[in-house]
Chain A
């Protein structure tokens, strides 16, 4: 196991609602990256947090936002949920200043109805 945890495991929300997903990084890791993975596709980079600041962002609208806390854990917030937001949301932890290797949590499966 990687030591990266995510909560909740599954979530069902209605279009227009807001959701918060949580991630605890592996011990010793200072960076958290968030990905969205739709069925049959590779993970799509949402954003990365390092030292509690956003350190790069993929092609996702501003209604996707995040936080990183002093203990390196992180949250992903999605406002105004759309049906297309239904996906597996993956959190990966890594060490900025080290290798590029990322280690994933089990993911949160979000269904928007």
Chain B
């Protein structure tokens, strides 16, 4: 089993729709979780951290399910500019190293 697994997509979604991604992780000792966004041939940018109680930032909502070891990202009212690859990131145990999923590609269509 991969350490961090994501559906590679692509997810083709019409503008204005709601889309959700899941990501599973294998290390039950992981404590910190993030979603990063990466545009084509650019560096990853932090989208949001994922907190135990779930958190929301505008149109974006992140959830953590420790029992099932997955995190999710929900994007509401999707915009053309949301087209990107979304990377799920998990810290590995108690150190400061991060393990990255391969990313889910999202394409928003007009």
Contacts and interface: CB of A to CB of B under 8 A. Distances in A.
Contact of B43 (A44, A96, A99, A105): A105
Contacts of A31: 96
Q: Give the interface size bracket for A toward B.
A: 20 to 34
Nearest to A95: B96
Contacts of B103: 41-42
B36 to A, nearest CB: 8
A96 to B, nearest CB: 5
A102 B87 contact: no
Given A41-B102, A99-B32, A48 B44 contact: no
Centre residue among B45, B49, B98, B101 by max chain A CB count within 10 A:
B98
Nearest to B103: A42
Contacts of B99: 45
Chain B at the A interface: mostly helix, strand, loop or mixed? loop
A48 B96 contact: yes
B91 A104 contact: no
Interface string B34-71: 10000001111110010000000000000000000000
A18 B41 CA distance: 24
Centre residue among B41, B43, B100, B101 by max chain A CB count within 10 A:
B43
A43 B100 contact: yes
Contacts of A107: 42-43
Interface string A36-64: 00001111110010100001101000000
A56 to B, nearest CB: 5
A42 B97 contact: no
Nearest to A102: B98
A40 B46 CA distance: 19
Interface of A: 2, 31, 33, 35, 40-45, 48, 50, 55-56, 58, 88, 90, 94, 96, 99-107, 109
Name the 10 nearest CB pairs between A and B, nearest first: A42-B100, A104-B43, A100-B32, A42-B102, A100-B91, A56-B97, A43-B100, A107-B43, A106-B43, A42-B101
